[in-house]
Structure 1
Amino acid sequence: MSQINVLITGAAGFTGRHACRYFVAKGYHVAAAVRNAAKYSEPGVEYISCDLTRREQVRELVKRVKPRYVLHLGGKNSVPESWGEPLLYMESNIMGSLYLLQALRESGCSSRILVAGSRLKFALSGPLAPTHPYALSKSVQEVTALSWGKLFHQDVLVAEPGNLIGPGPSTGICALLAKYIVNEEQGEEQKPFHLSSAEERRDFLDVRDAVAAYEVLLRHGETGSVTPVCSGLERTLGEVAQLYASLSTANIAIEAGDAPASGAEEAVQPVRLRELGWEPKYTWEMSLRDILEYYRAERAEWL
């Protein structure tokens, strides 16, 4: 196992950091692609500077690592930011993926690449209904990566993660609410925390379980497959707030808007992952508790 090279792009991100630790613990040689390697240090991880939108840098990266597996987490992933920088999102998520695929093809490495897509994608057929530039970039990224693999006989798979949560720096709703609670615990004066709708439903999965699912797919997934990576359960944002309230003695003020509730009528089930032997280890309650503890510890460091 120690001889297997895995390349992780987007290694400085929320999921990427967990992925690096996970694959090191499993005995892989981990090469982590980040914009500035000098800023990062993690036992067992080889950090390499690379801008995925620079074709020559990507070629050098692949030539240096010669990966057996590639976990492609790199790219841009903020819906609000995508409205202001739509071309950046097209370049980062689509062209960055193509540069990586082409570099792997040119290298002659028999690499398997798992592309982290998004459940926010939309169908690229019939009347187009894009919701935001981020969704457009991820929809095109997915179909392009799979098509490239088919055209050039590359071993490409796609994972579609849901809302990933857990300890670590994140801009997700669970992290934002945890930060708010920790500030309340320290006596800061804040406006009430605003939810667009208490009834909005989302599938939350611990990022550590998602990373374990990515390894299962890299080792046992079917080439050309698209696999949902999720818990199979949906929770409302109101339930998130209620559970957090039970984990803190702070007086938490929540404001809920009247936006229409969203969420699928029936949650997507991770059937294929379970067939491959994957089962989540972290309950929803464990995830939220760990998020709170992470931000409590972070706050304590700078007090």
Structure 2
Amino acid sequence: MSRKRILITGAAGFLGSHLCDRFIKEDYHVIGMDNLITGDLRNIEHLFKLENFEFYKHDVSTFVHVPGQLDYILHFASPASPIDYLKIPIQTLKVGSLGTHHLLGLARAKGARILVASTSEVYGDPTVSPQPEEYWGNVNPVGPRGVYDEAKRFQEAITMAYHTFHGLETRIVRIFNTYGPRMRLNDGRVLPAFIGQALRGEDLTVFGDGSQTRSFCYVDDQVEGIYRLLLSDYPYPVNIGNPDEITIKQFGEEIIKLTGTTQKLVYKELPVDDPKQRRPDISKAQELLGWEPKIGRAEGLRITYEYFRSLPDQEIKHKDFTYYNK
């Protein structure tokens, strides 16, 4: 029996590369696609020797063609960290709109099921916590985060339009803070920023008073949730994240303890529209997918810290970024 074929966009990115690994493990033929604007081929170079993996360098904001049958599409092409989408705002909007449109069209042409990667950022700075899928959000469309938030909100809207108008098989995952090996140390997110500062012997920068909360999900748990959602029959958005909520201040203290640094927390002004709370309601994922996170933060952080420690010195020392509490 021939292998099922799956296209994964954003394949050389943090989460996309782990999804490539998972579907290779499940004996799919994986077609990776990435324009490498934020992705890194090192994340998937171990797959190049496999006969059931192929890679195309391509920007999905332009027309997408993939020869042969396609059974599934995972659309994970998008800048996902503040440093990226603030640096390349137009590309961020285009990949969420034009890119999603092209891939929905490809899915329709191939008769494939498509899962699009949305984000907890569609909830903006939420007024309810934890955030259920029915919450419509509190988003500033013209603020600095608007290019990412609105790209993802449009992505969800056009995906549902293809589902309701064309009958396309669609899935939507709302991803909450996810971490693990292959994150970029300088991508501006709070976890790699804290660890990078600790490794360089710098004080850890907290924006605001540190009372903002985040909920961190280890990458293996996130991938398992996405895998189950793709194979489910539920077309509406589903939160996948870890509901174990922690303040940024407490998280910084955990990183100090984990790394053994003698540095301290220092405080700076809170960025515009920084979310005060971030905690997923995962009752839908539990009920529909039988999914919940298995890996605790202590274990996940230990693995992630060892990965960052193994990076070349020049990557650890490089810090051309602005850190945000994401």
Are 2:245 and 1:234 aligned? yes
**Aligned equivalent of 1:277:** 290
The alignment partner of 1:199 has SS state of coil
Aligned to 2:222: 210
1:24 is aligned to 24
* Matches of 2:196 and 2:315, distance apart in 1: 14
The secondary structure found in structure 2 opposite 1:255 is strand
Aligned to 2:11: 11
Distance 2:23 2:249 in 1: 35
1:51 aligns with 2:72: no
2:101 to 77, 98, 101: 98
Task: Give 1:41's aligned amino acid.
Answer: E
Residue 136 (str. 1) matches residue 150 (str. 2): yes
Q: TM-score, normalised by structure 1?
A: 0.85
Q: One-letter code of the match for 2:308?
A: Y
Shift of 1:140: 1.0
Structure 1 window deviating more from structure 2 (144-153 vs 126-135): it is 126-135
Q: Distance in 1 between matches of 2:199 and 2:137?
A: 47
Match of 1:288 in 2: 301
How many pairs does the alignment contain? 287
Contact 1:167 1:290 in 2 (8 A): yes
Amino acid at match of 1:194: T
* Runs of 5+ unmatched residues, structure 2: 125-134, 317-326
Q: 1:247 aligns to what SS in structure 2?
A: helix
Q: 1:121 to 1:229 in 2, by over 3 A?
A: same
Measure the CA separation in 2 of the matches of 1:217 and 1:126: 22
Alpha-carbon distance change, 214 to 128 in structure 1, aligned in 2, over 3 angstroms: closer
Deviation (angstroms), 1:227? 0.2
| Change in 2 beyond 3 A, CA 1:84/1:24 | closer
Counterparts of 1:237 and 1:81, CA distance in 2 = 21
The alpha-carbon deviation at position 90 of structure 1 amounts to 1.9
1:195 aligned residue: 206
Query: Among 40, 45, 65, which residue is 1:41 paired with?
Result: 45
CA gap of 1:226–1:261, structure 2 versus 1, over 3 A, is closer
Q: Choose 156-165 or 24-33, whichever is displaced more.
A: 24-33
Q: Could you tell me how far apart the structure 1 residues matched to 2:108 and 2:283 are?
A: 31
SS in 1 for 2:239: strand
Equivalent runs, 1:142-153 vs 2, <5 Å: 142-153=156-167
How far has the Cα of 1:238 moved from its partner? 1.3
Shift of 1:127: 9.8
State how 1:167-182 maps to structure 2 within 5 Å: 167-170=181-184, 171=187, 172-182=189-199
Structure 2: distance between partners of 1:285 and 1:279: 17
Q: CA deviation at 1:181?
A: 1.4
More helix by share: 1
Where does structure 1 lack aligned partners over 5 or more consecutive residues? 185-189
Task: Determine the structure 2 residue equivalent to 1:187.
Answer: none
Quote the sequence identity (%).
Answer: 23
1:78 Cα deviation (Å)? 3.5
CA 1:169–1:245 in structure 2 vs 1: closer, same or farther (change >3 Å)? same
Displacement of 1:129: 3.7
Aligned mates of 1:160, 1:129 — CA distance in 2: 18
| Structure 1 residue 229, shift from structure 2 partner | 0.8
SS in 1 for 2:12: coil
Describe the SS at the equivalent of 2:234: coil
Cα deviation for residue 250 of structure 1 reads: 2.1
SS of the aligned residue for 2:31 comes to: strand
Cα pair distance change 1:126/1:208, threshold 3 Å: closer
In the alignment, is residue 111 of structure 1 matched against residue 112 of structure 2? yes
CA distance in 2, matches of 1:269, 1:289: 26
